[in-house]
Chain A
Amino acid sequence: NAGVTQTPKFRILKIGQSMTLQCTQDMNHNYMYWYRQDPGMGLKLIYYSVGAGITDKGEVPNGYNVSRSTTEDFPLRLELAAPSQTSVYFCASSSLRDRRTNYGYTFGSGTRLTVV
């Protein structure tokens, strides 16, 4: 059971370049999320999806795009990379939530992106 898989693990981009961060999960989870983590700032939500074909903006969506064509995959696209996008990016997933049970997010191991 792989859980949430993210690729690549590390990447260096030049300013203005584009790239796609890949995320796939094998738990048949409906919900998927993209976060960025900066030192001392916690995790900030970029985009999320409640199911295939449905996506919505989070707290910090500018400069990013997403798509959700299948339940398993939720790629994050960076267009025209900027130094402010240097960060660690995490993809997460969760099942339909019930507050009476121990629900939580399953995270991937992250992609460390540097824009120079």
Chain B
Amino acid sequence: TQLLEQSPQFLSIQEGENLTVYCNSSSVFSSLQWYRQEPGEGPVLLVTVVTGGEVKKLKRLTFQFGDARKDSSLHITAAQPGDTGLYLCAGAKTSYDKVIFGPGTSLSVIP
């Protein structure tokens, strides 16, 4: 059973379009992280959100943590081919718990 679900599983869009990917759970998390993984490489941390309702921006990427701390979203504005990759969300139920990972959203941005 996946404690963290991600949707959509695959997404293919044209350069310049906007998109949102989602990370959902029935459990409450003390924090959620988003990683991007490029082919042949390990995941790279993009952001950590820890407060319900928190919004963080990283250039064209906007991350939001749900008010109930059970879900998160990643919005990309004006997607570029360099945004192509696997986006993983990961969460910990407490500060001392091991982090668990969702299955990922595979994004392809076509020039």
Contact = CB atoms under 8 A, between A and B. Distances in A.
Interface of A: 4, 33, 35, 40-45, 48, 58, 90, 92, 97-100, 102-110
Contacts of A99: 30-31, 50, 95
B101 A100 contact: no
Interface of B: 2, 4, 9, 30-31, 33, 35, 40-45, 47-48, 50, 88, 90, 95-96, 98-104
Given A99-B30, A104-B33, A40 B103 contact: yes
Contact of A43 (B9, B30, B47, B101): B101
A105 B44 CA distance: 8
Contacts of A44: 101
A44 B100 CA distance: 8
B44 A42 contact: no
B107 to A, nearest CB: 15
A90 B86 CA distance: 15
A17 to B, nearest CB: 24
Given A40-B9, A42-B88, A99-B31, A110 B98 contact: no
A28 B2 CA distance: 32
B54 to A, nearest CB: 12
Nearest to A41: B103
